[in-house]
Amino acid sequence: MSVDFYKQMKDSFKVNYYSINPARITVTDNSAAVFYYYSMNYTFGEGESGKSKQMEGKYAEFYTKEGNKWLLLADFMLSDDEEDDD
């Protein structure tokens, strides 16, 4: 479902800037967790109707090792403007 969504968006969504900085990496024999801070600017739409937006937040990836290969098991992205301020 999400693959179809991104295929439809790719023609009207343009990334102007993207920065990702590792915050912490934890590795065991056969698993790993990687945490990042990210910042990006993107434009949705074209021409005068295009709107630019800035996003910042946190990103995490979780890996498992099978043989000599690290395989992505799951990932998660949280935008700072989506966090609860309670």
Q: How far apart are the first and last CA of the chain?
A: 32
**Cα–Cα dist 54/68, whole Å:** 38
pLDDT tens digit sequence for 4-14:
766 766 777 78
Q: What is the pLDDT of residues 39-82, one digit of tens each?
A: 999 888 777 778 888 999 999 999 999 999 999 999 999 988 75
Domain count, the chain: 1
Q: What is the CATH number of the domain that holds 56?
A: 3.10.450.50
Q: Which domain holds residue 35?
A: 2-82
